[in-house]
Amino acid sequence: MKPVRLAALAFLSAGVLLAQAAAPAHKDTNAPVFMPAADLKWVDLDAKTAPGVKIADVWGDHTKGGYGAFIKFPAGFSVPLHYHTHAAKLVIISGTFVQVPEGKPEVRLGPGSYLMQPGKSYKHTTACDKASDCLFFSEGTGAFDIIMAKAPAAKK
């Protein structure tokens, strides 16, 4: 039994060390972190599935794991039925964010609105109303992805 406990302790210790190494390096964890809007580093999210969409990570790296980021959709942007591997929480800052859960009515969210979007099986379409660009903040539990879903077969 002792070797099993020792192996478990070694495994847990390695996990703690890896988590600490992956965390952002802040010398003083009690110091505030400031990031003026002018300092955000905007990049293309995914030119293939989301042309024109920009993202600026605030913490983490949206391509590798958990993250917090601002995301911009151009006015009129839309993505057909899809889902994401990981859950995300969104707060709409400007514009009208439009989402249609599969088989359900359209949901329109304006500035100050919140959405918790489950991962894996939550199929939906996403759009930005054509009246103006959309800006929102997203916090994801894992790397951001867009997985296109097949539309349900038409009933005969």
110 alpha carbon, distance to own chain's centre: 18
Q: How many of the other CB atoms lie within 10 Å of CB of 112?
A: 9
Q: Kindly compute the dihedral angle of the four CA atoms of residues 128, 86, 71, 67, in this order, to the nearest 10 degrees.
A: 170
Please state, in angstroms and rounded to a whole number, the distance separating the CA atoms of residues 47 and 72.
Answer: 13
Domains observed in the chain: 39-148 (2.60.120.10)
Residue pLDDT, tens place only, 32-69: 999 999 999 999 998 887 889 999 999 999 999 999 99
The average confidence (pLDDT) of the chain is 85
pLDDT one digit per residue (tens) for the chain, 156 residues: 455 444 333 333 333 333 444 445 556 788 999 999 999 999 999 888 788 999 999 999 999 999 999 999 999 999 999 999 999 999 999 999 999 999 999 999 999 999 999 999 899 999 999 999 999 999 999 999 999 998 666 665
State the amino acid at position 1 in one-letter form: M
